Structure 1
Amino acid sequence: MDSQPISDADAGRLTWFEKTWQGFCRLVVRVFYRRFEVVGRENLPAGQGTILCANHVNALADAVVLQAATTKAIRPLARSGLFDNPVLKPILGLIGAVPIYRRGDPGADVSNNKDTFSRCYELLAEGETLIIFPEGQSHDVPRLMTLKTGAARLALETTRVTGRQPALIPVGLTFPEKGQFRSSVLVQFGKPIEFAHSGEEADEQRVIELTERIRKGLEALTLNAESWEEVNLITRLERFFAFRHGKYRQRNLQQRLRAQQRLIDAQRLLREYEPDRVRALMIQLKQFEKICRYCGVKDYQLNIEYKPTLIVLYILRAIWMTLVVFPVVMWGVINSYLPYQLTKRLAGNFAKGTNQSDTANMVLGLLFFSIFWLLQSYLVYHYFGLMWMTLYILTLIASSVVALMVRGELRRIRENARVFLLFLRRRDLKTYLRQKRQELEQELARMVRIANRLSHH
């Protein structure tokens, strides 16, 4: 992950609440996501007003992730209805959020947007950073929605009113396993979008042209599949290719996204010009995956060579995990079981779609864990005193961190042990699966060569 620290200049301009808010956002993101990668932070200018134009796929979680990824205080442009929420209103005020009044929102008066834009001009002239989601609303589709023109109008009007051109930065937010706890998130800051235009163009034409440049900038940083079925297929193909070369675990999220973008372009060409071969390949891939699922074998396990040294190391690791790490994890699980289950079960009721799942989990998790951990700490203090409460809190935090770090590790140890014993009993099975995978690899390689030829025609 890009881990560029906050610069002295940025840190000096932050208020106490902004520093606290940034730390809080980073903590939430670190807890909720197993992998958090930031790319292109060097594209954010210093000392210049900046408009971050991001795709909007995860409701309020998008703003939290963006703040965790940036080194400056950011001012989100949020729909006016959020300011009516008694919980969100004071937070939005403290972080300097600016209300946007949209047609169709209950009680929204779009004439108030005049004051909104005036406030934005002031902030950008002062070198502040704004977030705007040009799609207008959060959504569940795996591609960009039609962009509104507000970001382009804001950039052009700021230049006209203040005489200072803000930086217009596209930001791609990618959640490969959206809605899953301890999943991944990739934040990509693109290159600033050029404002260059013909002086003879009408204002409206300039807005349309700049909006189109924003769209192209965002498309380069996002997956843009036609359907979730296509996303599932492309993810499987990308993983298959990566395992073939033994590089899946070494690839970062940006490399995976770029590989998936290339695969989307290739499979669209092939579906148009070689539909029969594509269908045959998909049948072959599904059959291979079906056999692997039936046997309980994952693709990466076919690459493992069970040498004596590896087996000894594996046994030692299993003993260490079972005797030392597992008891620590169990202490964290016992103390966190109730708030975790409440969050897990109730989040689905509050989220109206997968684009709201992360937000619901973050909000409910923060609420339930705070309540239960404070109550548990108070009970220890009440019955055993201050020293035991302090010790309890320290062990609670430590065991919870360890539980997050090794989440799923014990399950993987059991799976790998079972597969090892399976291959020990059925030596022919591993050979058979490798042969089937090799046949798939050869056909995939032929399809890639065909797609490359088609792309150059």
Structure 2
Amino acid sequence: MIYRILKFLIAIGIRLYYGEIRVKNKHNLPSNGPLIIILNHPNTLMDAWVVGMICKQPIYYMAKATLFDSKLKLKLLRGLNMIPINRQGEGKIEGVDNDDSLSECYKVLSEGKTLLIFPEGTSYKERVLRKLKTGTARIALETEKRNEGKLGLKVVAIGLNYSAQEKFRSNILIDIDKPRGVTDYLEEYKKDSITASRKLTSQFRTRLEKVLLTTETTEEEELVESIYKVINSRYVKSKDRKKGVQGEVTQMKEIKNRIDEIKILQPWIIEEIRIKIKSINWKLEKMHIRADFLDRKFRSAMFFRQLFSSVIFILIALPIAFFGIIHNILQYLLSDWLIPKLSTDVEYYAPLAVLVGLVIYPLSYTSFLFLGHYLFDLRFFGLMIYLFIMPISGLFAYWFFKYLRHISYKWQYMFLMVDRKDTMSDLQQEKARLKDLIFDT
């Protein structure tokens, strides 16, 4: 009961916090067990919540024992289907025994339920897929062994690709691989459990890399992201390119694959790419425009019409945005102030924002409802409409300020194209040369 209530509330929080949440190949996710879900782990608690949100069946989670450091937490988290495990180097938590926890995992899977495990073990905000622990493979193979290989246990790999995991209204692509059994390794496991577990773990890694945008190092990650930010453009049409977060991940994979090829065939070009990226970004910052504006076609009459229409829209939309600010700004600022005090780790920012928001926003909205009833004598239907409008107007206000920033870039671009056309032309050519250097080398 507690699990279902919290799943519902957290799902609301996730959908409000993130913008686009796209699930790719959802048909690959079984709706019943016995099933082990493996996934990458860049965003602490949020990773488990996101997968729990898209799964119909209840999920059991393996979690580090340090989360269960009091009797109250132990009781609460156990009610949320969380199974504690003492990790090497973190000491032992009273009341947590690894043998008992592993036995519970075998039992959960043998009963046809679903178990979620993070084979990396720890959470890091990066696209580097770290070394996988062999524990997941051992649990899968031991469960099949105890059921004489007749259980039909499946393992499904899920890749969580965040555009900017800690940022409000950023996007997520959830990519799901086909479920596979583990019995091919069972006979070897009976003879040599260590070797069989390592081989299965290697397969897990290959499957996770298939559904993820991964890099070998954080330096490579920074290079791929910096290239994407410069060459990506909403103003370049492509029939083959998908829209939204799926298109973003696809394009970044293409960049990553191309960088890998260049490193092998022409490694000296990598430094030239870094220099060009740095030069373009420096000029863009000085000019106060975005990189994608370099791909816009400029016609002064069209720009003036667009800007005039934008001014009219801003004047009309301003009261709605102001309403949203009044009803949401205090909660937003309070959350922004409180979360860094609760944890300095960026990996905890998004889950803490959702948890804090689930407390602060309902309390503040309830206060506004009381004021609405007291000051304006609003009745049930009026209060329900008021309650519905408050969060919607808050999201609109957030979008509205992003729109104002976009218009400011558009104004700046127009002035630059009129007053410094040659400089803009040089910068456009520099961006074109960067593309040629990466994709036509």
Normalised-by-shorter TM-score class: 0.7 to 0.9
Give the equivalent residue in structure 2 for 1:278: 270
Q: Does 1:210 align with 2:200?
A: yes
Write the distance in 2 (CA, Å) between the matches of 1:109 and 1:151: 24
Write the distance in 2 (CA, Å) between the matches of 1:314 and 1:207: 62
Which of the numbers 422, 427, 430 marks the counterpart of 1:428? Answer: 422
What residue identity is the alignment partner of 1:228? T
Pick closer, same or farther for the CA change 1:391–1:397 going to 2, 3 Å: same
Give the equivalent residue in structure 2 for 1:4: none
Which of the numbers 308, 320, 334 marks the counterpart of 2:326? Answer: 334
Give the equivalent residue in structure 2 for 1:375: 367
Give the equivalent residue in structure 1 for 2:294: 302
Write the distance in 2 (CA, Å) between the matches of 1:21 and 1:36: 19
Q: Does 1:315 align with 2:308?
A: yes
Give the equivalent residue in structure 2 for 1:219: 209
The offset of 1:357, in angstroms, is 1.8
Write the distance in 2 (CA, Å) between the matches of 1:85 and 1:418: 56
Give the equivalent residue in structure 1 for 2:130: 145
Q: Does 1:191 align with 2:183?
A: no
Which of the numbers 163, 176, 192 marks the counterpart of 1:176? Answer: 163
Contact 1:329 1:399 in 2 (8 A): yes
Give the equivalent residue in structure 2 for 1:72: 57
Write the distance in 2 (CA, Å) between the matches of 1:110 and 1:272: 52
Write the distance in 1 (CA, Å) between the matches of 2:186 and 2:142: 16
Write the distance in 2 (CA, Å) between the matches of 1:314 and 1:252: 25
Deviations 1:324-382 (A, max 9, x none): 32211211112211121111122223223221221222222323223333333334445
The offset of 1:31, in angstroms, is 1.2
User: SS at 2:293's partner residue?
Assistant: helix
User: SS at 2:329's partner residue?
Assistant: helix
Contact 1:56 1:138 in 2 (8 A): yes
Give the equivalent residue in structure 1 for 2:335: 343
The offset of 1:90, in angstroms, is 5.8
Write the distance in 1 (CA, Å) between the matches of 2:417 and 2:122: 50
Deviations 1:156-215 (A, max 9, x none): 122122330311111112222132222122222112245223735522221111111112
5 Å matches for 1:246-265?
246-247=237-238, 250-265=242-257
User: SS at 2:20's partner residue?
Assistant: strand
Write the distance in 2 (CA, Å) between the matches of 1:51 and 1:277: 43
User: SS at 1:53's partner residue?
Assistant: strand
The offset of 1:128, in angstroms, is 2.0
Write the distance in 2 (CA, Å) between the matches of 1:135 and 1:71: 25
The offset of 1:67, in angstroms, is 1.6
What residue identity is the alignment partner of 1:237? I
User: SS at 2:366's partner residue?
Assistant: helix
What residue identity is the alignment partner of 1:437? K
Q: Does 1:164 align with 2:154?
A: no
Pick closer, same or farther for the CA change 1:317–1:85 going to 2, 3 Å: farther
User: SS at 2:220's partner residue?
Assistant: helix
TM-score by length of structure 1 reads 0.83
User: SS at 1:71's partner residue?
Assistant: coil
User: SS at 1:30's partner residue?
Assistant: helix
User: SS at 1:305's partner residue?
Assistant: coil
Q: Does 1:408 align with 2:402?
A: yes
Write the distance in 1 (CA, Å) between the matches of 2:207 and 2:385: 51
Q: How many positions carry a matched residue from both structures?
A: 431
The offset of 1:43, in angstroms, is 1.2
Write the distance in 2 (CA, Å) between the matches of 1:80 and 1:266: 42
Give the equivalent residue in structure 1 for 2:27: 42
* Structure 1 unaligned residues grouped into runs of 5+: 1-15, 448-457
Q: Does 1:58 align with 2:43?
A: yes
What residue identity is the alignment partner of 2:121? G
Pick closer, same or farther for the CA change 1:402–1:89 going to 2, 3 Å: farther
Pick closer, same or farther for the CA change 1:349–1:225 going to 2, 3 Å: farther
TM-score by length of structure 2 reads 0.86
Deviations 1:119-152 (A, max 9, x none): 3233323332211111112224431222222211
Q: State which drifts further: 39-48 or 88-97.
A: 88-97
User: SS at 2:157's partner residue?
Assistant: strand
Pick closer, same or farther for the CA change 1:93–1:385 going to 2, 3 Å: farther
Q: Percent identity?
A: 24
Contact 2:24 2:176 in 1 (8 A): yes
Write the distance in 1 (CA, Å) between the matches of 2:187 and 2:75: 44
The offset of 1:268, in angstroms, is 4.1
Write the distance in 2 (CA, Å) between the matches of 1:81 and 1:289: 43
Write the distance in 1 (CA, Å) between the matches of 2:415 and 2:241: 24
Pick closer, same or farther for the CA change 1:32–1:249 going to 2, 3 Å: farther
The offset of 1:404, in angstroms, is 4.5
The offset of 1:272, in angstroms, is 5.2
Write the distance in 2 (CA, Å) between the matches of 1:331 and 1:27: 22
Which of the numbers 413, 426, 440 marks the counterpart of 1:419? Answer: 413
Q: Does 1:440 align with 2:428?
A: no
Deviations 1:206-232 (A, max 9, x none): 111111111221222233324434222
User: SS at 1:48's partner residue?
Assistant: coil
